[in-house]
Structure 1
Amino acid sequence: MEGEIGQLERKLEELPLDNGETPAPTTPASEARVNRARKPVPAHLPRDTIVHTPSANAGPDCRGPLKQIRSNVVEQLE
């Protein structure tokens, strides 16, 4: 009888515990990371360059020359 109890206890230890939560679904590593970034516009398509220049050549407070802070490049199909 004690041998049977020992066997049953070992089997119970091997069973996973159920705490009421559902396990998270597992996905293969290849499906987990999918690159959804947009592809660049093909080189053979025409491009228009638009430059926005300020209306004044000097700053309103210091009257010093204006300089470019950054550039924003956007590609858009019409």
Structure 2
Amino acid sequence: MEPYASVKAAYNELPAFKPLIPISALPTIALVSLVAAFALVFFMSTLSSRKFNPTEVPIALLAAALTGAGTVALFCTVGVNV
């Protein structure tokens, strides 16, 4: 029983969890990320190029990353912890 007591004592001395990003910033992060992703997708879908453009790949990757980050921030804002 002694190892449990020592682990419990160490646990009780730990500081409370504090996230790196403040919770109050999550709605803003979600809004900015999702609007920027929508703008990038809209921009890429309205280009009229018939051949492959090398700038499409980084823009698509950026839009995907913004969509993912915005979705996670939005879920955490409404209380769905992912």
Q: Under a length normalisation based on structure 1, what TM-score does the superposition of the two structures give?
A: 0.26
Bigger RCO (CA 8 Å, 6+ sep): 2
Q: Under a length normalisation based on structure 2, what TM-score does the superposition of the two structures give?
A: 0.25
Higher helix proportion (structure 1 or 2) = 2
State the structure with more CA Rg: 1
